[in-house]
Structure 1
Amino acid sequence: MGAICVTLFLLAVFVALIYVFLVWNFNYWSNRGIKTAKSWPLVGSFPSMFTQKRIAIYDIEDIYLKYKRTENFVGVINTRLPQLLVLSPEYAHKIFVSNFSSFHDNEISKFVSQKVDKILANNPFALTGNAWKRKRAEITPGLTANRVGAVYPGTQSVCRQFVDYIKRQQLMASSEGLNAKDICLCYTTEVVADCVLGISAKSFTDNPTPLVGMIKRVFEQSFAFKFFTMIANIWPPIRKFFTVGFFAKDVEEFFFDLMQKCIDLRRQDPKLQDRADFLNYMLLHLQDKKGLYTPELVSHTVSILTDGFGTTALVLAHTLLLLARYPEEQRKLREELGNSNVTFEKLSELPFLDACINETLRLIPPLLSGRKIVTESYDFVNKNGVRVRVEPGDAIIVPVYSFHHDPEYYDEPEEFKPERFLEINGGVRKYRDQGVFFGFGDGPRICPGMRFALTQMKAALVEILQNFNIKINPKTRKDNVLEDTYFMASLKNGIWLNFETIQ
């Protein structure tokens, strides 16, 4: 009996120690005069990250709505790590733009290792300090307007194939219509493969290459990576001797093997070296002139590939969704586009097309929240005058989704109203300067592939709107509730559309 009592006592002590360990930091912010959102052991302030019953951005939205009237920022607990949630657009703008040097790096960098995650570790989004500056300086010249314009005829060719593909699919479609996410991913796969690598993925055929299937897997964030980030937040030292890759190993190997084959093909065929695409820029400018090693070159190009596939496809699918829901806006856009060929130069002279894309990025932003790492000490001042200093290594969260949906900054925020982004109403700069629009991020770390992504989307929208009247299929939900577990913003239960050919 005595042994049992001792065992139970030791067990109780062990459980108590675990509990104390998990809640040890819960008073971190309140001890400094900062309000802290309600938190629970193990899950912290964001229980949805673990229950998976809704996407975690809604936890941030709840905190934002509760405190935004009285606070400029509020403390939150990520598992057991204290972080600061910024509620003020003015501070959001400072973090991304005017005080960028104090918030230089993205939080994802803490969970990425060069040894196990060659793709993400070499993506500018995850790089830090001088490595980020060097990588961005190498990539950006390959994505100038001139280079994007040079591959635009290829983009238009893929767009025409895309239209033919939609027509064939619509003829075979069931009463559920077409899956907009799938067909848009087929399009971005084909156009990126063509414009970046100079190959065809055969996305619009009955026998696509393995590239199509692998691209879908790129954006299936593994449970192992999610579990690792949770453990790393509970016990940060684990990152020093153990980490988990964001991408599955066979997916990573596939893309590196594909890139090596494309590079070898370019070296062997002089005719292919005349293409004004991204791969030739990487080969001729970075490798031949600057001595860039092949593994680095492969990492650069794979980063562009993975960025260009999924994110662009989702934004394009959501734009089609919203245009289908709002037929009057669709009519206005079709009227602006006309029936003639739209050149690359003309593409930048279509304000309502720009407005429709920006409004989509506002309603369903790929970047749901900005998660930054403090790189230089910085003082925040709350509305009650309390000052708090954050130090290098601290994490700051910017609630992008909440700013985008706040009626204080956007009239009828749940409605699709592209005209709010027209120049006559202040344009997109008005909202960026206010710190309430982050469609592609903002500041020095704004998405380097933004011009290429926009060109892809615009070219596709031109061809689709000139050929089809888009309508909502009844299978598609009527609200904008997001998928519960996907790490990017994506309409829950899918986007199902009907495409009626314009005679």
Structure 2
Amino acid sequence: MCPIFATLLALAVLAALIYVFLIWNFNYWQKRGIKTAKSSPFVGSFPSIFTQKRNVVYDIDDIYRKYKNTDNIVGVMNTRVPQLMVLTPEYAHQVFVTEFRSFHDNEFGRFTNEKTDKILSNNPFILTGEQWKERRAEITPGLSANRINAVYPVTKSVCHKFVEYINRQRQMASTDGVDAKQLCLSYTTEVVSDCVLGISAQSFTEKPMPLVGMIKRVFEQSFGFILFQTMANFWPPISKFFSVPLFSKEVEEFFFDLMDKCISLRRQSGPRDRLDFLNYILQLQDKKELNVLEVTSHTITFLTDGFETTALVIAHTLLLLGRNPEAQQKLFEEVGTSPLDFEQLSELPFLDACIHETLRIFSPLLVARKLVTEPFDFVNKDGVSVRVLPGDVVIVPVHSLHHDPDFYEQPEEFMPERFLEANGGVRKYRDQGLYFGFGSGPRVCLGMRFALTQTKAALVEVVRHFNIKVNPRTRKDNRLDDTFFMATLKGGIWLDFEQRA
């Protein structure tokens, strides 16, 4: 046989084998009587993961819209791994709440371990089984209403500095306006570092602490991490003996060093009666004899969970208020001009409604990927039943449910009134499986109360002092950033702040 021909034949056979390997599972759900979304080799059902020409949530939206009227569930391929997407709010509610035991864990836990990623692997969002239950029980008392109330004066003090900072920024701003996300990230960095650690990050100065820069790096997914996730989907066993950390070694070492210094300072000379979160963690360490890693990972959970997400919520709420002057005026009238204590901050129904409507439109949780922990039977609209088993993944298309016109009138419009108690309030939508602003069920966001307090306090002070307008540089639709894994407006949020008389 001609050597060239033999080489070409070998390459053709290899290519055929690779192709067969890539599409081997594509008929997995069809063989079980369930439709499967269009899938292609390498990319599966979600090509935007690789092309990055649009946010992958829009791939999910396309599948949701195509099948929601004919099916309760639809099969999808994550590269070459078969997964199941639920298409009804009833099933979404079951996955999060009523059948929680069958969907106890988050898929993301598959992609990390304590050896390679000490910080992320100890986050309650990642932890599974009894580890998650124990960690949640340890952290929850540190986020009680009494403890958040105790540090509320710190939050108010930071809010006053925030207003002064906005004033300086708006005076220096060009015609392109002020970058609202960076503005709000400066606020959340300052308030969280002070409430959690009792230190100032100097976020509102020209020389902020390195903490500010490191926080920005926490949520920057490296190419290596994305590649590892892709490889793990091609061949899941790889995660058993190889992993890539989300947090770089430099970021990890910075936070561990910061925590070591803060803990040492607090134990030596700090006010041990201060009811902040670090004091609670130190008490927990004494009670349960936690080691340095456990104390650090506990505290970093408070830190990392309070920065980016809350900043995005505040920035998007300001955006939507800027787009809707009538809602902004109504909120201005509600918050008034008198100082508000912690209890009064909780009694502003229109402010609550504005935040929940923002969380619906720009939900940080765009899609939930739940790991099956106990067998569960789904029944399709045609009566076909399919059983998912431990290790399978079920996808809940949160963004799609939040933007479905069958459930929310004019879903792209900012209509906070839909979340007022007179209209059923947030509970109505949550109980129907239609609202997941902070998640739902037993794994609802641990820091929800603290995040809401940060958010409300900031919005009250900003609305009191400024008339918010959207700079022409900001896009007019709600298009999401092409690559970021949380909801954030594509092109950034650029605002103008006019000081109120």
Q: Which runs of 5+ in 1 are unaligned?
A: none
- Name the residue aligned to 1:42: 42
- Name the residue aligned to 1:147: 147
1:339 alignment partner, SS class: coil
1:491, CA displacement in angstroms? 0.3
- Name the residue aligned to 2:26: 26
AA aligned to 1:276 is L
Q: Distance in 1 between matches of 2:407 and 2:401?
A: 8
Q: Distance in 2 between matches of 1:49 and 1:111?
A: 16
Correspondence 1:31-430 to 2 at 5 A: 31-269=31-269, 271-284=270-283, 286-430=284-428
1:249, CA displacement in angstroms? 1.3
Stretches (4+) displaced over 3 A: none
- Name the residue aligned to 1:438: 436
Q: Show CA shifts across 1:90-138 (max 9, x none).
A: 0000000000000000000010111111111000000000000000000
Q: Which runs of 5+ in 2 are unaligned?
A: none
Q: Distance in 1 between matches of 2:35 and 2:169?
A: 54
2:271 alignment partner, SS class: helix
AA aligned to 1:58 is Y
Q: Show CA shifts across 1:366-409 (max 9, x none).
A: 00001000000000000000000000000000000000000111
95-104 vs 250-259, which moves further: 250-259
Q: How many residues align?
A: 501
**Conserved in 2, the CA contact under 8 Å of 1:94 and 1:100?**
yes
1:274, CA displacement in angstroms? 1.7
Relative to the length of structure 2, the TM-score reads 0.99
44-53 vs 3-12, which moves further: 3-12
Q: Distance in 1 between matches of 2:224 and 2:482?
A: 18
1:124 alignment partner, SS class: coil
Q: Distance in 1 between matches of 2:43 and 2:252?
A: 31
Q: Distance in 2 between matches of 1:357 and 1:321?
A: 12
1:272, CA displacement in angstroms? 2.0
Q: Distance in 2 between matches of 1:139 and 1:224?
A: 31
**Conserved in 2, the CA contact under 8 Å of 1:221 and 1:487?**
no
Q: Distance in 2 between matches of 1:420 and 1:173?
A: 35
Q: Distance in 2 between matches of 1:496 and 1:5?
A: 61
Q: Distance in 2 between matches of 1:273 and 1:221?
A: 37
2:167 alignment partner, SS class: helix
1:62, CA displacement in angstroms? 0.1
AA aligned to 1:399 is P
1:37, CA displacement in angstroms? 0.1
AA aligned to 1:436 is L
Q: Distance in 2 between matches of 1:13 and 1:261?
A: 60
- Name the residue aligned to 2:446: 448
**Conserved in 2, the CA contact under 8 Å of 1:73 and 1:85?**
yes
AA aligned to 1:287 is Q
1:274 alignment partner, SS class: coil
AA aligned to 2:54 is R
**Conserved in 2, the CA contact under 8 Å of 1:39 and 1:77?**
yes
Q: Distance in 2 between matches of 1:221 and 1:163?
A: 32
1:275, CA displacement in angstroms? 1.0
Cα root mean square deviation, aligned: 0.6
1:272 alignment partner, SS class: coil
AA aligned to 1:15 is A
AA aligned to 2:399 is Y
